[in-house]
Amino acid sequence: MTILITAASGQLGGLVVDAILDRGVAPERVIATARDTAKLSHFSDRGVRTAPLDYDDPATIAAALDGVESVLLVSSNAVGGRVDGHRNVITAAKDAGVSKLVYTSAPNATTADFVMAPDHKATEEAITSSGVPAVILRNNWYTENYIDTVRQAAQTSTIVASAGDGRVASASRADFAAAAATVLIEDGHLGQVYELAGDVAWNFTELADAASQLLGREVTYSALSYDEHVQSLQEAGLDDGTANFVAAIDDGIRRGVLAGTDGTLARLIGRPTTPLIEGLRTALER
């Protein structure tokens, strides 16, 4: 079995490669890909095969997938403009006869009223239409998404958001990477749609408490309205579109889009997920 990881130069993709190797898969059975293979030298030094793969260049995708059996399609970070690139990978996977396509999606992607959902919904639909055997991993928020928030709180003693008392069932990237490695290596997951989340959903008051412990100073949560949050972000230098996008994420959190957790992630990885404060601590120490 040959396993190909897209976007392996990124934070999640690289951790998936590590997790696969840690599970005893021979390096020569793993292909790490990226637009720039120079960023993959740490994997080639370990015996992992590398190949160029650009979501927007079908020729690179077809060449990389030749002879590959399992593929992890890590969602592009080009929010609002990533579906065509995803479709290119899906089409190449079908043409190559890939027997397992794993995609990193978003929570309740096909039903959620959430600013992040449309791209993932369209990608999941494209996978279904293609007929390629697949596993969908609907990853909740990465705890590391809030590391800059904590660092800013070290200066301001405040975490500012418009999420109300909404909860986030986050987990560390390493937790999600371990789940991806599991379904890539193991049989029995085809056709599954896994809603993956941390064991504990926290609110922003609890995030502020965690920041207080890590920083050794009191940090409080300042809850803004949507409009107040947009204005604050604009005053900080964000353009109108970006400010509204960030505030829309918090609006989804306020409405409970990221609150769901049912233990599926912990079951897949065979251990409890990383607690919020530990995930933040590890990220701060890097």
pLDDT tens sequence across 14-36: 999 999 999 999 999 999 999 99
C-alpha span between 91 and 130 (Å, rounded) = 7
Statement: residue 203 has pLDDT above 90? yes
Are the C-beta atoms of residues 260 and 108 closer than 8 Å to each other?
yes
pLDDT tens sequence across 226-278: 999 999 999 999 999 999 999 999 999 999 999 999 999 999 999 999 999 99
C-alpha span between 10 and 34 (Å, rounded) = 8
The CATH class, in words, for 3-139 is: alpha beta
> For residue 51, what is the enclosing H or E element?
strand 49-52
Domain with CATH 3.90.25.10 in the chain: 141-171+198-259+274-286
Residue count of the chain, please give it: 286
- pLDDT confidence of 78, banded at 50, 70, 90? confident
* CA proximity to 143, closest of 247, 273, 238, 232: 273
- pLDDT at position 268, please? 98
Can you read off the two tokens belonging to residue 104?
């990193």
Average model confidence (pLDDT) for the chain? 97
Q: What is the pTM of this model?
A: 0.97
Superfamily per CATH, domain 141-171+198-259+274-286: UDP-galactose 4-epimerase, domain 1 (3.90.25.10)
Strands lying side by side in the sheet with 100-105? 49-52, 30-34, 3-5, 70-73, 100-105, 134-139, 193-196
Domain with CATH 3.40.50.720 in the chain: 3-139
